Amino acid sequence: MDSEQAQKEIQVPFSKYSKRVILKDIVGRSDGGVGLIGQRVLVGGWVKSSREIKKDLPPSSPSPNTTPDAVGPKDVRCVEYFQSVPFLKSIVKVLGGGDHRSRSKLDSLTPKRVKPPQPTISLLQITDGSCIPTLQVSVDSALALPSLVMPTGACILAEGVLQQPSIQGKQVLELKVEKVLHVGGVDEDKYPLSKKRLPLEMLRDRPHFRPRTTTVASVTRINSALTQASHVFCQNHGFVYVQVPIITHMDMEGSDKMFQVTTLLNSQETRGQNPADNVAGVSLETIKASLKEKSNRVEELKRSESNKEAAAAAIQDLRKTTELVAQLEAREKAKSGHSFKAKKLNFSDDFFSKPAYLTVSGRLHLESYACALGNVYSFGPRFRAEQSQSRRSLAEMWMLEIEMAFSELEDAMDCASDFLKFICKWIVDNCNDDLKFVTKRIDKTVEDRLKLMVSGSLEKISYADAVEVLKRVTQKKFEVKVEYGVSLTEEHESYLADVVYEKPVIVYNQPKALKPFNVRLNDDGKTVSSFDVILPKVGAVIRGSQNEERLNVLSNRMKEVGLTKQECEWYLDIRRHGTARTSGFSVALDSLVLYATGLNDIKDAVPFPRSYGKAYN
């Protein structure tokens, strides 16, 4: 079988539901797609960059049967030709003879030849989001105007033949387009993305466009792989997937940092009538501080003169914030001198007949299924109303939660360790191109850090020992003083993992006051069977515990934290009827994305971040 026949037998896979070829199956091949040269494909994508080249025209030559004499002298005018024909000569006389005026009139009747624009070829680098590499697409100006297909962000669906590049360069493959099926144009004056890189913090204001950037696209694919790996780990170990409620009546962790769900504020009188009325929960001082930061950012961009698009976007954002501050100040001034007392809400008239909240954890509900099905897990959003501007804080985070029956603290810690090793290996094995990109663009240590997690071990240390270790630190002064009984801050956790042990750390047996009411009380009566897994550069990613199975101890803990039996009667029923020792943990998937990509701010690790003071889109 010759090479040409073998090439024809190559089948290029296509997307079943769009009848197009995914670019990853072309340029993502080990040979860059060279082995597919000669294949006809249909591709779709968005333009990352482009350039226009002039098309070579074949040289014009006279007909073989034509001689210079037959063509005639080059200065023969139309009027002279008209005069040479008897019938047409009379027309010339009517128009005024053969003088200059007749020549002018005839010249005006002769259509002028407009020089056609020179044909060009648009060379586009397109991506469809399936991989890092782009495909070079060659579009003749006769098929589509360059002004339509060349702008960054334009969408194109085209059919053609894969060939060697028409111009030598970095590309090893090119699609010569024969048919353009769709073009989604771009308003270049309003499109926020450009060929220049925008800072990630600038992209947050346009989360609906930022996945078109290479960085955010890579992060999103890694995020997707982490989610898939989490489900595969649980399914491989016999865990049953359970959906737990997002709306609950219980404060699961006793933090009081919960979002309330109510329909009592739906009347027209309580709805905001202007932007200033829609910033409930955000103080004027907070917005003014944000205004100052944005003003400094604008000045910095103006001085650099390196990115006009970013400067324009920052100026627009600053203008909106300035208007909002003015509205808030006007509202505060109008209220001055008047006492305002909020009407007490009667929750018996509410949708759920009593106060309801967005859940901060699904582990309590999940435990009831663990006591029936054995090992179970859940995956979904969890909400925490923390007024924090931390780089690791979000109001809405996606969590994987695991509960295991007949399991104790050591079992849960072993499961958490195995889980981390599994997903890190999954990322290394399945996200090779994206890992190389984030290692080059964001953090050079990402890939080594993941491989170290796979092959290494986690350091285990009790909370009491961790406090003693931090107390002995002299070369650094912590913002919050380290004391026994005080929750370790992000700064403390990072120092343990990044500096002291230089690897992942498990801190276990925290004081009971720092953990939820349902965590099992240890024999010392002061600590509970809980643990936190702290990763370098990220902090605590997993928080777990063994649950309290003793009814009397659980009832006493509920009284200590102020919970009534009525609120938790269903949970106590689990202890009364066929209880078992259970343990489990919660994994902050968004924080794992930080660990796997090297990003510094968690708001850049999720598609649509919700944080204190800003919900973006």
- Please tell me the distance from the alpha carbon of residue 490 to that of residue 283, in angstroms, as a whole number: 25
Length of the chain: 617
Q: Which range is least confidently modeled, 202-211, 257-266, 321-330? A: 321-330
Q: Is it the case that residue 100 has pLDDT exceeding 90?
A: no
- H helices of 22-126, in order, are 68-71, 78-84, 86-94, 100-109
Q: What is the pLDDT of residue 310?
A: 66
Q: Is it the case that residue 73 has pLDDT exceeding 80?
A: no
Q: What is the pLDDT of residue 339?
A: 40
Which residue from 607, 594, 616 is spatially nearest to 392, judged by alpha carbons?
594
Q: Is it the case that residue 143 has pLDDT exceeding 80?
A: yes
- Please tell me the distance from the alpha carbon of residue 534 to that of residue 390, in angstroms, as a whole number: 17
Question: Is the CB of residue 157 less than 8 Å from the CB of residue 20?
Answer: yes
Contacts 24+ apart (CB under 8 A), 429-437: 430/225, 431/221, 431/222, 431/225, 433/28, 433/131, 433/132, 433/133, 434/132, 434/218, 434/221, 434/222, 435/222, 436/132, 437/132, 437/214, 437/215, 437/218
Question: Is the CB of residue 149 less than 8 Å from the CB of residue 138?
Answer: no
Residue 403: what residue type? E
10 Å Cβ neighbour count for 497? 23
- Please tell me the distance from the alpha carbon of residue 607 to that of residue 596, in angstroms, as a whole number: 16
pLDDT tier for residue 68 given thresholds of 50, 70 and 90? very low
The one-character DSSP state at 49 is E
Mean pLDDT for the chain overall: 84
**434-449 burial code (b ≥16 CB/10 A, e <16):** bbebbbeebbeebbeb
Q: What is the pLDDT of residue 255?
A: 62
Between 513 and 318, the more confident residue is 513
Q: Is it the case that residue 84 has pLDDT exceeding 80?
A: no
Query: What tens digit of pLDDT does each residue of 211-240 get?
Result: 999 999 999 999 999 999 999 999 999 999
Q: What is the pLDDT of residue 161?
A: 96
Q: Is it the case that residue 66 has pLDDT exceeding 80?
A: no
Reduced to 3 states (helix: H, G, I; strand: E, B; else coil), residue 279 is coil
CA dist list (Å): 33 to 12, 294, 552: 10, 45, 68
Instruction: Show the tokens assigned to 464.
Output: 């009491």
Average pLDDT over residues 588-596: 96
3-53+120-184 belongs to CATH 3.40.50.2300: no
Q: What is the pLDDT of residue 271?
A: 47
Q: Is it the case that residue 323 has pLDDT exceeding 80?
A: no
Q: What is the pLDDT of residue 60?
A: 56
Query: What tens digit of pLDDT does each residue of 369-378 get?
Result: 999 999 999 9
The one-character DSSP state at 27 is T
**446-455 and 409-430 helices cross at what angle (nearest 10)?**
140
Question: Is the CB of residue 411 less than 8 Å from the CB of residue 275?
Answer: no
* CB half-sphere exposure, 363, CA atoms < 13 A: 28
Which residue from 382, 364, 367, 377 is spatially nearest to 590, judged by alpha carbons?
382
Residue 460 class from Cβ within 10 Å (0-12 exposed, 13-18 middle, 19+ buried)? middle
10 Å Cβ neighbour count for 254? 18
Residue 447: what residue type? E
Which residue from 95, 156, 99 is spatially nearest to 123, judged by alpha carbons?
156
Question: Is the CB of residue 504 less than 8 Å from the CB of residue 461?
Answer: no
Q: Is it the case that residue 70 has pLDDT exceeding 70?
A: no
Name residues whose C-beta falls within 8 Å of residue 290's C-beta, 6 or more positions apart in sequence: 321, 613
CA 18 to chain centre: 23
CA 98 to chain centre: 77
Which residue from 454, 529, 444, 533 is spatially nearest to 496, judged by alpha carbons?
533
Q: Is it the case that residue 614 has pLDDT exceeding 50?
A: yes
Q: Is it the case that residue 97 has pLDDT exceeding 60?
A: no
pLDDT tier for residue 349 given thresholds of 50, 70 and 90? confident
Instruction: Show the tokens assigned to 598.
Output: 């090297």
Q: Is it the case that residue 23 has pLDDT exceeding 80?
A: yes
Average pLDDT over residues 7-25: 79
Average pLDDT over residues 72-77: 46
Q: What is the pLDDT of residue 321?
A: 74
Which residue from 381, 378, 371 is spatially nearest to 247, judged by alpha carbons?
381
- Please tell me the distance from the alpha carbon of residue 393 to that of residue 384, in angstroms, as a whole number: 9
CA dist list (Å): 544 to 199, 371, 426, 452, 505: 36, 17, 23, 23, 14
Q: Is it the case that residue 333 has pLDDT exceeding 80?
A: no
Sheet holding 356-358, edge to edge: 247-248, 356-358, 260-261
Question: Is the CB of residue 409 less than 8 Å from the CB of residue 442?
Answer: no
Q: Is it the case that residue 562 has pLDDT exceeding 60?
A: yes
Q: Is it the case that residue 309 has pLDDT exceeding 70?
A: no
CA 555 to chain centre: 44
CATH number for region 210-259+346-604: 3.30.930.10
pLDDT tier for residue 482 given thresholds of 50, 70 and 90? very high
What residue spans define the domains of the chain? 3-53+120-184, 73-109, 210-259+346-604, 268-335
pLDDT > 90 fraction of the chain, expressed in percent and rounded: 59
Q: Is it the case that residue 75 has pLDDT exceeding 50?
A: no
Beta bridge partners of 136: 125, 174
pLDDT > 70 fraction of the chain, expressed in percent and rounded: 79
CA dist list (Å): 371 to 95, 184, 508, 582: 108, 54, 24, 8
